[in-house]
Amino acid sequence: MSDLVSDVLAGKHSALARVITNIENRAPGYREQVSALHRHAGDADVIGVTGSPGAGKSTLVDKVAAAYREQGLTVGVIAIDPSSPFTGGAVLGDRIRMASNAGDMDMFFRSMSARGSLGGLSTATTDAVTALDAFGKDKIIVETVGAGQNEVDIVRTADTVAVLVPPGSGDDVQMLKAGILEIADVFVVNKADLEGADRTVQQLKEMLQGRSGRPDTGHHGTITGADNEGGAVSTTEAVDWKPRIVETVANRGEGVEDFLEALGSHAEYLDRTGRREKQARERYAAEIRTLLREDANGLLSAELERRGGLESFLDEVVARETDPYSIVDELLAPLRDCLAEERDSHHG
């Protein structure tokens, strides 16, 4: 086991920061580091926070992290930032926010750049969560900017997903329907002191009510109906979680306790119903598929380069001497033969 991994397991924050940098940069050896850390992970509670830009996610995450620290829990935060067009790194302004927790060693904050790499980002986030988990953080919060498909993929790495909806955002609620609403366990109407907050809460309630009767299978199984209470569901009833709606004014710390209570309630539900383990299995299945795709793609790209690159085949395709299917068959032939040999040797 590498010294760096040993240092992470020994609780050295500088080592944790270096491992996450390696993960983000896909530096040589990062895979071995994540592999070694994986067997020490699995105890943290992972919370995903997403929603439209300007909903106040950063402020709320800051307050939640501080509240967990007051409870004596250690916290890790990964904030996914849009990348700076100049350096490719995360926007500096976001790196230095969350000032209220600065200097607290049991509160680890890391900003990761989106860098426009849609596919690789969710893998890098998953790996960074593994590192924080193995390090021993009790709570890990993954905060994303925006509400696109990329964010949906990232928050899928979380046990509990919170979606922030700004008040007066009737159009936003409509827009959010496309995917993000399906994965929410808790809705937060932040800035609830602003005009339109009540209407937004009402719209969310109606939308959740509309889902009962025609269950949608979302992030956390089938949802058979929802109300604002969303209280503990006894195992004799349907074991479906009913998404909560919480109102907060994060910059004043109002509603933060309610939000923590909703998160705790969902964590308890996951443990009680065995859903936490089921979600972990689903996550690992998705991660393995993603890595297989990435690695197979890398192998085949290298083979393509070795044969003179794609350009060398295109002349033949344009001249109708061959076709895309035949080229793919030709490139995959060695891989197919190899796997067939492997199968035969096992059966033999």
Same domain, 226 and 295: no
| pLDDT value of residue 268 | 96
The answer to whether residue 30 is domain-embedded is no
Domain containing 100 equals 42-274
pLDDT band of 115, cuts 50, 70, 90 = low
pLDDT band of 230, cuts 50, 70, 90 = very low
Number of structural domains (the chain) is: 2
Helix, strand or coil for residue 246?
Answer: strand
The answer to whether residue 279 is domain-embedded is no
Token pair, residue 265, equals 């309630």
Distance CA 137, CA 2 (A): 21
Contact 139, 28 (CB under 8 A): no
Same domain, 51 and 152: yes
**Which of 274, 306, 321 is at the close of a domain?**
274
**Average pLDDT of the residues of the chain:** 81
Same domain, 223 and 317: no
Q: Which of 56-65, 133-142, 258-267 has the lowest mean pLDDT?
A: 56-65
Same domain, 258 and 296: no
Output 20 or 100, whichever has higher pLDDT: 20
Q: Is 161 left (phi over 0), alpha (psi -120 to 50) or beta?
A: beta
Same domain, 295 and 182: no
Q: What's the average model confidence in pLDDT over 23-34?
A: 92
Distance CA 235, CA 24 (A): 42
**Strand residue runs (E) in the chain:** 45-51, 75-81, 107-113, 139-144, 160-165, 186-189, 216-218, 221-223, 244-247
| pLDDT value of residue 348 | 65
pLDDT band of 53, cuts 50, 70, 90 = confident
Contact 97, 293 (CB under 8 A): no
The answer to whether residue 304 is domain-embedded is yes
Closest listed residue to residue 294, CA positions, set 36, 119, 34: 119
The CA-CA-CA angle for residues 282, 152, 221, to 5°, reads 40
Distance CA 159, CA 156 (A): 8
Token pair, residue 110, equals 């890391």
The CA-CA-CA angle for residues 188, 190, 196, to 5°, reads 105
Closest listed residue to residue 128, CA positions, set 82, 78, 74: 78
Q: What's the average model confidence in pLDDT over 33-58?
A: 91
Same domain, 125 and 228: yes
Same domain, 266 and 295: no
Q: What's the average model confidence in pLDDT over 112-133?
A: 77
Q: What is the CATH number of the domain that holds 99?
A: 3.40.50.300
Q: Which of 46-55, 235-244, 303-312 has the highest mean pLDDT?
A: 303-312
Read off the amino acid at residue 345. Answer: S
Same domain, 106 and 208: yes
Q: What's the average model confidence in pLDDT over 145-156?
A: 66
**Which of 247, 274, 301 is at the close of a domain?**
274
Q: Which of 52-56, 107-111, 233-237 has the lowest mean pLDDT?
A: 233-237
For residue 273, pLDDT beyond 90: yes
For residue 218, pLDDT beyond 70: no
For residue 228, pLDDT beyond 50: no
Same domain, 154 and 248: yes
Q: What's the average model confidence in pLDDT over 151-169?
A: 81
Tokens 């390696």 belong to which residue?
22
The answer to whether residue 13 is domain-embedded is no
Q: What's the average model confidence in pLDDT over 126-154?
A: 84
Distance CA 114, CA 117 (A): 6
Q: Which of 28-42, 113-127, 205-219 has the highest mean pLDDT?
A: 28-42
Query: Measured on CA atoms in the order 222, 228, 231, 237, is the torsion positive or negative?
Result: negative
The answer to whether residue 67 is domain-embedded is yes
| pLDDT value of residue 167 | 85
| pLDDT value of residue 16 | 94
pLDDT band of 126, cuts 50, 70, 90 = very high
Q: What's the average model confidence in pLDDT over 153-182?
A: 74
Same domain, 52 and 114: yes
Output 216 or 167, whichever has higher pLDDT: 167
For residue 83, pLDDT beyond 80: no
